[in-house]
Structure 1
Amino acid sequence: MSIPEPDPRPIDYKSAGVDLDAYERTMRQIPPLLRRTYTPRVIEWPGGFAGLFRLDDKIRLLTRTYRDPVLVASTDGVGTKLKLAFASDRHETVGIDLVAMSVNDCLCAGAEPLLFLDYVAMSRDDPDLTRRIVQGISDGCLEAECALLGGETAILPDFYKSGEYDLAGFCLGVVDRHMILDGSEVRAGDRVIGLASSGLHSNGYSLARKLALEVAGLEPGSFVPELGRTVAEEFLVPTRIYVKALKTVYRHYRVKRIIHAIAHITGGGLIDNPPRVLPEGLSICLRRGSWDVPPVFGWLRSLGNLPDEEADRVFNMGIGLVLVVSDYYADSIARYLRTEAGIPSWVIGRVEEGPRGVRWEG
C-alpha cells in the first residue's frame, strides 16, 4: 500500500473549519448587545476573561436591601425548538427562550435574577447568525431586568450540521435567606394561581414537531386555519418571562410571605411540576375550565388523539407559571396580575391534604 504524497499547501486553522477573522468580526458585534442590559452593579473589564458584578448593599433590589443574601443559580437550554428555527431561518427569538427558561426557574426560589451568561456552539463562524441569536438573548435579559454579563461562542467544525447550533444559558439570582420559597409555608386551603403561557414555551417540541410535521404532513411555513398563522409562527412564539410580573406583586403586596411557593411549568407539565413545591401530606387540586387554553394545544391533541393525562404532562396547556398563595389574597393577586402586569391570570385550584401530587376536578 503506497503512502500518498503530503499536500504541499500549508494547513491552517481556517482549512480545518475555524475562520479566526470571521470570529473576530462576530466578537466586535457582541459588546453593544451586552452593554444595553448592564445594571449599576456591572463592572466593565475590557478584554477581560470573565464578567464582574458587585454585591453592593447600597444598591437596593426589589425595593429592599438584602441582609442575608443567598445566591440562586440555574441553567437550561432551548431544546428541539431550535429545529424549527433552523428549518424556517428564524433565529431572533430563541435567545429569549434561552433566558426565560433559566430566569423563570430562579423566580421559583423567590429570587431576583441578577446576571446571565450564554453559550453558543455552531459548526462554523457566522457573524450575522450569531448577532441574530445574541440579539434575542439581549432582548430577553432586558425583559428579565438582568445583565447579560458575557458568554462563549464555540466553533466546532464537524460537530454540528451546517446552519445548526446549540444554546445553553446560565442565570445567577439572589434572595434573602428568610425569603426563600422552599414550600415550607404552603398550607391546606392555599389557592393556586395560574399565569398564562405565551404558547408552547420550550417544552414538548419533540412531540409537537412529530404531530405537525410527520402526522399532519405540514411544513414549517404551512398555514394552519385553526391557529390563524403558520406552524413556524406558532411554534416559535418565545417563552414568556415572568420577572416583571413577580416584581410588581412583591412591590404591591408588602405583607410578609403572601406567596408561599412558585412552580415553573416546563417538562412534566401540570402533572410533575406543581407537586415539587409541596411538602409531604399536601396535594393540589386543579379545576379544568378555569383558565383559557390556547388553540395550539387543542389542535395538537386532535392530531394525535392525545388523552388528557398525556397532554397535561407534555405541554403547559396554557399555564406557564403557578403561584401558591394565601387564600385571602388569591383573587386580588390574580386581578392585579391581569390589570397591572398585563398577564392573564386565574385562580385555577387549591391545596388540600393528601398524597403529594395533582388531581383534577371538572
Structure 2
Amino acid sequence: MSTPLTYKNAGVDIELGNELVDNYKDIVSSTFNPAVLNPLGGFCSLYDLSHYNLKQPVLVSSTDGVGTKLRLALQWNNHKGVGIDLVAMCVNDLLVTGAKPLFFLDYYASGKLDKTITLEVVQSIATGCKIAGMALVGGETAEMPGMYHNKDYDLAGFCVGAVEKSEIVNGSDITVGDTLIAIASSGVHSNGYSLVRKILESKPALEDDNLDGRSIKDILLTPTKIYSQCMQALHQAKLLKGAAHITGGGITENVPRFIPKTFAAKINTGSWDLPPVFDWIKTHAQLSLDDLRITYNCGVGMVVCVAKENAQQALTLLAQHHENAWIIGEMVENTQGAQVIYTHE
C-alpha cells in the first residue's frame, strides 16, 4: 500500500490519502461545471462556450505527459500525485497565454489494469482538474499487454481553454525595463527524471536520503504545482505581458519563447537560493551549474513579465494567492546574442 502524500498548491494542503472512490464516474463527474452538457458514457463530450460570454473566443490547447517520473511512482508504489503532474504539465502551458482552462481529457494505457492503481491515478487527475478549475470530461483507459509490461502504464493529457482574442498574452508589448517575476516551483516537477533515475540506479542507498526533514522519495514524487489561480488573477488585473512555464530546458530555453528577439532577459541568480533537491541532483549527477539550469527548473516554476511600475502590485497579488514570488530580473536590449543573461547580484 502506498503512503499518503500531502501536496501544497497555492497555500492549500491537499491530502492525497488512502481512501479510494469506488465509482469512476463519481470521481470524474465531481469536476463538472454547468458548461458540461452531457454525462459520461457517450461517444464524446459536449461543452458550452457561451457559458463564458466571450465576444471573440479563441480556443487554446495543450497536450503533454508525465515522463519517466512514472517509473518512480511504480517503483515506490505511490501513484497519488502523478495525475496532478499530468494536469499541471498541460494546463501551465495553456495559462501563459492568458487563457482560462475549460476541460481536460486523459489517456491511460497499461499492460494489465490494476483497479487500485487506476483509481489512484484517476482520482489524482480529478484533483488536478479541481485545482486548475476545469472539468475532466472524459478520456481513454486501455489495457495493452502487447505494448506495456504487466502493471506498467503511461499517461497523456489534453487540455483546452479559451481567451478573448483581444486579450491574448503573447509578449508583443514587452519593453526594455519591464520586470521579470519568478513564481516558485513545488520541486523537480516532471522533467529530468531519466537523470534522477540514473542517479538512484547507480547509488541505490540514496533512496534513504533525507533533505530538510523530508525523504527523497517524498520530495521526488511531489506533484508539479498548478498555477491556474494566480496566473488568471494576473491576467484579469491586466498585469501580464508575457510568461514562461519553466519545464525541460529550464529558464535558459523557456524564457526566450515569450520575449521578442530584440530583447533579452537579465536573470539575477542571487535573488533566490537553489532548493536542496537541485543541489542533491547537481552533486550526485556531477552536473555543472549551466547543465543544471538547462535541465531543471531550479526552484522557479513560472516566470512572468510585468511593467516595472506594476511589479509591486503583481507581487502583492501573488502573495494573496499564497505564492512564493520574487523579482528575478528585468528586460534589457539583446546586444549579446543570447536571450537569457545570468548575473549574480
State the TM-score, normalizing by the size of structure 2.
Answer: 0.90
1:361 and 2:343 are equivalent in the alignment: yes
- Secondary structure at the aligned position of 2:283 is classed as helix
Amino acid at match of 1:77: G
**TM-aligned CA deviation for residue 37 of structure 1:** 0.6
Name the SS of the counterpart of 1:311 in structure 2: helix
Distance 2:138 2:59 in 1: 18
Deviations 1:70-96 (A, max 9, x none): 000000000000011000000111000
Matched AA of 1:234: I
Partner Cα separation in structure 2 for residue 226 and residue 242 of structure 1: 25
Partner of 1:214: 201
Q: Which residue of 2 aligns with 1:52?
A: 46
- Once residues 157 and 299 of structure 1 are traced to their aligned partners in structure 2, the CA distance between those partners, rounded to angstroms, is 37
Checking the alignment, whether the CA contact within 8 Å between 1:117 and 1:170 is kept in structure 2 is: yes
Q: 1:295-329, CA deviations, whole angstroms, 9 ceiling, x for partnerless residues? A: 10111112123211100000000000110111111
1:189-234 deviations in Å (ceiling 9; x for gaps):
11100000000000011112222x1343336xx3323342323211
Where does the alignment leave 5 or more consecutive residues of structure 2 unmatched? 1-20
The code of the aligned residue for 2:28 comes to L
Q: 1:162-204 deviations in whole A, cap 9, x for unaligned?
A: 1210000000000111111122111111110000000000001
Structure 1 letter corresponding to 2:306:
V
Assess if the C-alpha contact under 8 Å between 1:120 and 1:153 holds in 2.
yes
Asked whether the equivalents of residues 195 and 285 of structure 2 are also in contact (C-alpha less than 8 Å), the reply is no
Give the aligned length: 323
Q: Distance in 1 between matches of 2:105 and 2:161?
A: 12
Q: Tell me which of 29, 35, 55 is aligned to 1:41.
A: 35
Deviation at 1:46, TM superposition (A): 4.8
SS at match of 1:349: strand
In 2, the alpha carbon distance for the partners of 1:47 and 1:285 equals: 51
* Matched position secondary structure for 1:41: coil
In structure 2, the residue corresponding to 1:115 is in which secondary structure? strand
Root-mean-square deviation (Å): 1.7
Paired amino acid for 1:42: V
Question: Do the aligned residues in 2 keep the contact of 1:262 with 1:323 (CA within 8 Å)?
Answer: yes
Amino-acid identity (%): 41
**Partner Cα distance (1:218, 1:122) in 2:** 29
Q: 2:124 aligns with which of 136, 143, 158?
A: 136
8 Å contact from structure 1 (residues 278, 356) kept in 2: no
Query: Does the alignment pair 1:296 with 2:277?
Result: yes
Q: Provide the residue aligned with 2:298 in structure 1.
A: 317
Kept in 2, the 8 Å contact 1:191–1:349? The answer is: yes
Question: 1:328 corresponds to which residue?
Answer: 309
Once the two structures are TM-superposed, the CA of residue 275 in structure 1 deviates from its matched residue by: 0.4
